Structures are given as C-alpha cells and as structure tokens.
C-alpha cells in the first residue's frame, strides 16, 4: 500500500503520462513500478538480485539485472529516452559510491527530471533510541543536514522533504539540478529542527549512547524477572535489527525459547550470535507461550492482527520498548 499510494501521488504531482519514464534503483520484484505500469507509465527497474529481477520480468516489469553503475547507465542511455523520475527507496544507505549513484541518476534524467530517495531518518533513530536499525548493511545514516551538504557539493539541490513512517521513521527527499525550481518550506523546517535538536553536536550522540546503556539495564532486569516467575517467552520475527538488539542486550536462548518467523527460508536456523532457534508458528499454536516478544517491531500491529489464534490463546504480545518502561 505504501508504494501504490506513492505511485498515485507521483503521477498527480509530476503530471506523469504515457510518455513519461520512471526508473527505480533497487527495484526488487517491481512492487513500486507495478502500479505505475498499470497507469500506463513507462517503467524500468534495476536490481542486482537475479532471482528478483527474473521474477519481475516474468511479471511484465522490465528490469535490468545488475548494479546502477556506469555500464548500466550506458545501456539505459542507448535504449531509453531520458527519464522524468529516478527513485531509490532504502538503497542510499546501502551504497559505498553515493556520488557515482547520484551522477548516474542525473545522467539518465531529463534536465528538469527529479531524483527521489527514501532513507531512514537519523533524528528519529536518536530520538526514539532505535539503535537496532544500525547494522552491517547500512553504510550511511542520514540527516537532512548531511544530505543538504552532500547534494550541494554536487551542484544539486533538495527542493522538498517529507517525513514518512516506514522503518521506524524515514524521510523522502526530492532532488533536482534545475536552479529555477522553487524550494518548498519543508527544507528550511527540517534544517531548523535538526539545528535545534543538536544533530551536529557530538554531545547528542554521547547522550544517545548513555540512554541505550540505561535501556539495557531496564530490559534485562524485566526479562530476568519474567523468567524467575517461570513465564515462557518466544520471539516473533528475525530481521537484521533483531540480531543487533539481542546481541547488544545479551538476550539468548536462556531468555527466549525460540523465534517464530513467517519466512520459511529461515526455519531451522539460528539467530546469529545468540543461537536462538527459528521456527514456524505451529509450535506456538500447539503450546502457546505467556509472552511473544515482537522483534520486527515496525510490523507490530500487523503481526498481532495476523495471529488472532495466539491472541485468543492468551499470549501477550510485547516489544523491547515495553520491557524498558
């Protein structure tokens, strides 16, 4: 729904039509491009995962298998007209060649084209203490201030910013090279907010670290208390953020019996470091635990709604946040 709503918004906001082209970097299985194609917009996806790009092409979403590098850019320039939009959702944090990606994006864009990125928002990470979003795949953590200086250095300008709810708080950033395009008030609003927050002040990050240490003490104290009372606890979801959190806190198979995972590819494996078994939810249905600790906390409501049988069995769904209060 996030991407279908976004597609509808972009069609209206940028007057996209049958002659427009939208290129999506890191397009996955074409989840964002599909609703655009349904509206007769020309689309092109780029994704390095062969299985995903093959599936997308089978589904009628034209996708290049590969990275968005100079070679891919040349291929696009040879076979396509310049694009109206280039999008990169949750890709910018994963790249170690941001300048190259940005230059390639503007190489395939029209002169008045727009580059749109979505990244996790550093201010939210600090404010909400969601340090579990910090893990090996993420090479960069972005504030508007840092993005502003990065794009300015490349003679590009951010002209609009939106705050969105994905990944515990993200920002959608609109970039162009058209000097005449007006700058939305949102840019100054975000920059001022970050200045007041102290986003460039080292003490902000020291305080962040201190608060996280305090969380660890509270969470482990509460968890040990539940175990002392012989309460059974399992986890739900094994995203990368769960590995970060559980290893930092020291939550092991002594605290959590096992983790339920909807993705069957992870079944009968162990969570890295803490060696907690990962299973399907059949065991929990057969023998309901007292507590289910939702580790994919950004999907908490969906998980609870989709597991009515466990709710009805009396399982209490909680997050690490609940244990810290």
Give me the domains of the chain, ranges plus CATH numbers.
2-202 (3.40.50.150), 223-324 (3.40.50.720)
pLDDT at 294 over 90: yes
Residue 10 φ/ψ region, left for φ over 0, alpha for ψ in the -120 to 50 degree band, beta for the rest: alpha
Task: Read off the pLDDT of each residue in 228-233 and give the average, rounded to a whole number.
Answer: 96
pLDDT at 136 over 80: no
Residue 315 pLDDT: 97
pLDDT at 97 over 90: no
Residue 142 pLDDT: 94
Which of 22-26, 90-94, 191-195, 300-304 is predicted least confidently? 90-94
Q: Is residue 250 within 8 Å of 260, Cβ to Cβ?
A: no
Alpha-carbon distances of 48 from 51, 69, 92, 263, rounded to whole Å: 9, 11, 15, 21
Dist CA 232 CA 255 (whole Å)? 9
Q: Which residue has the tokens 């968890």?
A: 223
Close Cβ partners of 5 (under 8 Å, ≥ 6 residues apart): none
* Predicted TM-score (pTM) of this structure: 0.88
pLDDT at 128 over 70: yes
Partners of 88 in the β-ladder? 25, 117
Residue 123 pLDDT: 97
Residue 180 pLDDT: 87
pLDDT at 1 over 90: no
Closest CA to 234 of 253, 210, 258: 258
Q: Give the model confidence (pLDDT) of 254-280 as tens digits.
A: 999 999 999 998 999 999 999 999 999
Residue 118 φ/ψ region, left for φ over 0, alpha for ψ in the -120 to 50 degree band, beta for the rest: beta
Dist CA 97 CA 115 (whole Å)? 16
Dist CA 129 CA 214 (whole Å)? 11
Cβ-in-10-Å burial (0-12, 13-18, 19+) of 289 comes to buried
Task: Read off the pLDDT of each residue in 213-224 and give the average, rounded to a whole number.
Answer: 94
Q: How distant is the alpha carbon of residue 160 from its chain centre?
A: 20
Q: Would you place residue 160 in the very low, low, confident or very high pLDDT band (cuts 50, 70, 90)?
A: very high
Residue 92 pLDDT: 83
Mean pLDDT, the chain, rounded, equals: 94
pLDDT at 138 over 80: no
Residue 200 pLDDT: 96
Main-chain dihedrals φ then ψ at residue 116, nearest 5 degrees? -120, 125
Task: Read off the pLDDT of each residue in 153-165 and give the average, rounded to a whole number.
Answer: 96
Dist CA 53 CA 51 (whole Å)? 6
């Amino acid at each position: 729904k996030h991407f279908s709503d976004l597609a509808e918004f972009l069609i209206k906001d940028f007057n996209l039509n049958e002659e427009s082209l939208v290129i999506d970097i890191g397009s996955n299985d074409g989840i964002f491009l599909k609703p655009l194609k349904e509206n007769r917009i020309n689309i092109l996806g780029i994704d390095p995962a062969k299985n995903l790009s093959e599936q997308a092409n089978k589904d009628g979403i034209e996708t290049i298998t590969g990275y968005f590098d100079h070679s891919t850019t040349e291929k696009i320039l040879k076979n396509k007209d310049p694009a109206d939009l280039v999008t990169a959702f949750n890709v910018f944090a994963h790249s170690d060649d941001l300048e190259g990606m940005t230059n390639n994006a503007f190489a395939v864009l029209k002169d008045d084209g727009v580059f749109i990125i979505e990244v996790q928002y550093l201010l939210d990470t600090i404010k909400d203490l969601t340090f579990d979003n910090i893990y090996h795949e993420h090479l960069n953590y972005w504030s508007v201030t840092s993005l502003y200086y990065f794009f300015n250095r490349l003679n590009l300008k951010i002209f609009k910013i939106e705050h969105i709810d994905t990944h515990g708080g993200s920002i959608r950033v609109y970039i162009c090279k058209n000097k005449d395009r007006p700058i939305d008030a949102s840019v100054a609003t975000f920059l001022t907010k970050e200045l007041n927050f102290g986003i460039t002040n080292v003490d902000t990050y020291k305080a962040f670290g201190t608060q996280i240490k305090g969380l660890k003490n509270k969470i482990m104290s509460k968890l040990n208390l539940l175990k002392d009372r012989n309460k059974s606890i399992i986890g739900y979801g094994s995203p990368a953020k769960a590995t970060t959190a559980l290893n930092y806190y020291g939550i092991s198979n002594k605290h959590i019996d096992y983790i339920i995972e909807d993705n069957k590819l992870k079944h009968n494996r162990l969570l890295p470091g803490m060696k907690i078994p990962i299973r399907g939810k059949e065991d929990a249905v057969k023998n309901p635990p007292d507590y289910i600790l939702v580790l994919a906390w950004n999907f908490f409501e969906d998980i609870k709604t989709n597991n009515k049988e466990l709710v009805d069995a009396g399982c209490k769904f909680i997050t690490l946040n609940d244990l810290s209060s």
